[in-house]
Chain A
């Protein structure tokens, strides 16, 4: 009886479908690749996927608040070339990183201000802003190049007490979100996602919350840019161009409802990892290069169908109570 309750609670968890997909892909992966569980392979896997996970945390937060942000991918590109060019001009690494993070949060805040105060639809605002960010990235650096201090790359690939550094980047964002979520403002954020007008009428400062959540998403993109810069060790004005959309898909597979107010970032993290394993798997199975993209998309579609069906089943049960 007791275990039955526990089981039901797990299956009702919004992140459950993503967790399921992640476990399945993990199991298949361990059969297909050699040494799938060696720490080296796992940490290098984490290193390659940190960017998507960071952006996904930001996207999830925005979607939970009832908005959407499709500019995060180009924001990553912008921050990436900004960081590289700052360091190329001889700025010490930590300063450059701090400036880059500040810029990323400010860029997110611009999105938030446009949406909160000018009342422009989030989709259009962030689309227009993504054009702006992509443009700025091209102005800063119009072709891939540059390099960063080796210390930074070494630090990125190092481990602390056996845990890869990249895990800490994700943990910082995860902690900020978890702490925020349990404050009154966090609860108000979920309420705003559910119904903006009602929460405004009951005294929630929706404008401040919107600016905050888009700034947080910007900051996440900044951390994502830090990760990708350390990984590739150079600047590329197109590095994040498709990442924003991938992150939104990951958030939805992770159980975040595009209607707002439902879900959590944990599911998004599971889903991002699942997408990473999927890429690994398709490469490991040696499908020919032409069919890889189609296979990946079809499996992704299957994943989304599963996530949506499980999510709907849970909603029905909730409604029946």
Chain B
């Protein structure tokens, strides 16, 4: 009897473990979305109670529009953060300002030219990202310092090129990204949604995404597995720069006008969005969708505070305190998971 039973006993826990592992993986993903989803629900209810017409189609559309820009920026920041090594890209805002100011110099009369402008924006951003990546991965300058200085350099270059006077004209074709597709989804929101889904698929399914995550999680193990960790690391910064460049062009189209520092506030907001989305700042783990949800949280919060006609100072205090709270909750939930 015993000899018959024993192999069964051994086989069972193994299978259970595998199933549990699979379950843990999928539930871990949901846990990542959970804090931001709860925050969004609470904020939307609070917004509807506090501000009249908060849930009007028009307001939802404009919230989604603003959130799309930040969500796209969070893709840039997220890529660098997932790549690990305490990676952070503080130059995304300056890159966005640069493309927002320089790319409209290309006459974008029709959608074909807008596409050309987008390619130019991506190339410009990628070039800055490449310098970032080389400085950080080959010269081994801490990412925070390197990207901070690059941010200053990029703003300086923008200043030299524009002579302090932003291009006055944003073409109608570029402004077209605010066109409504189906209420409340506008063109930009749709574009960003597609980019987000593609990026998430690459991160979870494609070889590059897997390599990126492994490198972020454990660079030594990744190197032993034959992954070019330096190359992957540099690629993360190039992608970040490219996406930030694209965001800048969209930002110019959305705002309809440009100022010298229009992208600046996006730098730290993108870090906050990614952190709310649950990406571990130490790298290796993260989700673009969760980062986008984090962006949505921040934008809804800001929209409520603006609707309440609060002074900028009070708004900023409330934002900061809530941010501490959300990040604290996030830290707690990832700690218990461990």
Evaluate contact between B314 and A135: CB separation under 8 angstroms: yes
Total interface residues on A, CB under 8 Å, equals: 46
Chain B residues with CB under 8 A of A312: 140
In the assembled complex, how far is the CB of residue A238 from the closest CB belonging to chain B, in whole angstroms? 11
Q: CB distance B155 to A129 under 8 Å?
A: no
Q: How far apart are the CA atoms of A317 and B146 in the complex, in Å?
A: 25
Interface window among A38-46, A227-235, A302-310 = A302-310
Which residues of chain A from 115 to 157 have a CB within 8 Å of any chain B CB?
118-121, 123-125, 127-140, 142
Given A124-B327, A132-B317; A249-B156 close (CB under 8 Å) = no
Q: Which listed residue, A131, A135, A293, touches B156 by the CB 8 Å rule?
A: A293
Given contact pairs A127-B272, A290-B159, A294-B160, A119 touches B313 in the complex (Cβ within 8 A): no
Give the Cβ gap from A141 to chain B, nearest Cβ, in Å: 9
Contact A139 B317 (CB under 8 A): yes
A12 at the interface (CB under 8 A from B): no
- B195 within 8 Å of A (CB atoms): no
B153 touches A294 (CB 8 A): yes
B65 to chain A, nearest CB (A): 23
Q: Contact check: which of A118, A136, A295, A304 meets B146 at CB < 8 Å? A: A304
Please tell me the number of chain B residues within 8 Å of chain A, measured between CB atoms. 44
> A135 near B313 (CB under 8 angstroms)?
yes
**Separation of A123 and B282 alpha carbons in the complex (Å):** 11
A72 to chain B, nearest CB (A): 14
Query: Chain B binding site: helix, strand, loop or mixed by DSSP?
Result: helix
Contact indicator A304/B145 (Cβ below 8 Å):
yes
Interface residues of A in 229-262 (CB under 8 A from B): 245, 248-249, 252, 258
B110 interface residue (CB < 8 Å to A):
no
Nearest chain-B residue to A289 (Cβ)?
B164
Residues of B within 8 A of A295 (CB): 156
CB nearest neighbor in A for B281: A121
Q: Which residues of B contact A301 (CB under 8 A)?
A: 135, 149-150, 153
Query: Across the interface, which residues of B come within 8 angstroms of A121, CB to CB?
Result: 275, 281, 327, 331
Give B151-169 as 1s and 0s: 1 = Cβ < 8 Å from A's Cβ atoms.
0110111011001100000
Given known A135-B319, A290-B160, A290-B163, contact A125–B313 (CB-CB < 8 A): no
Contact of A293 among B155, B319, B327, B331 (CB under 8 A): B155
Chain B residues contacting A137 (CB-CB under 8 Å) are 313
Structural contact, A138 and B313, CB atoms closer than 8 A: yes
Complex alpha-carbon distance, A309 and B153, angstroms: 21
A291 to B152, alpha carbons, bound, how many Å?
Answer: 12
Q: Which residue of A lies closest to B162 (CB)?
A: A290
Interface 0/1 of A28-65, CB less than 8 Å to B = 00000000000000000000000000000000000000
Which residues of chain B come closer than 8 Å to A305, judged between CB atoms?
Answer: 135, 139, 141
Is B328 in the interface zone, CB < 8 Å from A?
Answer: yes
Q: Which residues of B contact A296 (CB under 8 A)?
A: 152, 156
Q: B227 on the interface (CB 8 Å rule)? A: no
Which B residues touch A134, using CB under 8 A? 316
Instruction: Tell me the smallest distance from the CB of A229 to a CB of chain B, in Å.
Output: 19
Taking CB atoms, residues of chain B closer than 8 Å to A294 are 153, 156-157, 159-160
Please determine whether A127 and B271 come into contact, CB atoms closer than 8 angstroms: yes
Q: Is B190 an interface residue (CB 8 A)?
A: no
The residue of chain B having its C-beta at the shortest distance from the C-beta of A114 within the complex is B324
Q: Are A125 and B327 in contact (CB under 8 A)?
A: yes
For the complex, give the distance between the alpha carbons of A138 and B317 in Å: 10
Tell whether, in the assembled complex, residue A297 and residue B153 are in contact, meaning their CB atoms are under 8 Å apart. yes
Give the interface centre of B153, B281, B311 by most chain A CB atoms within 10 Å. B153
Is A252 touching B331 in the complex (CB atoms < 8 A)?
no
User: Which chain A residue lies CB-closest to B131?
Assistant: A301
* Residue pair B159, A245 in contact (C-beta under 8 Å): no
Instruction: Annotate B304-326 by CB proximity to A: 1 below 8 A, 0 otherwise.
Output: 00000001111111111101100
- Asked if B335 lies at the interface with its beta carbon under 8 angstroms from chain A, I say yes
Using CB atoms, name the residue of chain A closest to B149: A301
Is B268's CB under 8 angstroms from A127's CB?
yes
Taking the complex as formed, is B148 at the interface, i.e. its CB lies under 8 A from any CB of chain A? yes
Q: Do A125 and B148 touch (CB < 8 A)? A: no
B88 within 8 A of A: yes
- Whether A135 touches B281, Cβ cut-off 8 Å, given contacts A128-B324, A258-B142, A304-B146, is no
Cα A138 to Cα B312 with chains together (Å): 7
- Is A167's CB within 8 Å of the partner chain B? no
CA distance A130 to B153 in the complex (A): 24
Could you list which residues of chain B lie within 8 angstroms of chain A, going by C-beta atoms?
A: 86, 88, 135, 139-142, 144-146, 148-150, 152-153, 155-157, 159-160, 163-164, 268, 271-272, 275, 281, 311-321, 323-324, 327-328, 331, 335
Closest 3 CB pairs of A and B: A294-B156, A135-B316, A138-B313
20 A-B pairs whose Cβ atoms sit less than 8 Å apart in the complex:
A114-B328, A120-B331, A123-B281, A125-B324, A127-B271, A129-B320, A132-B321, A135-B314, A135-B319, A136-B317, A248-B148, A258-B86, A258-B145, A290-B160, A294-B156, A300-B149, A300-B152, A301-B149, A304-B149, A308-B141
Besides A121-B331, A139-B311, A294-B160, 18 more A-B contacts (Cβ < 8 Å) are A118-B331, A120-B324, A124-B272, A124-B275, A124-B281, A127-B271, A131-B316, A131-B320, A132-B321, A134-B316, A135-B317, A135-B319, A289-B164, A294-B153, A297-B152, A301-B135, A308-B139, A308-B140
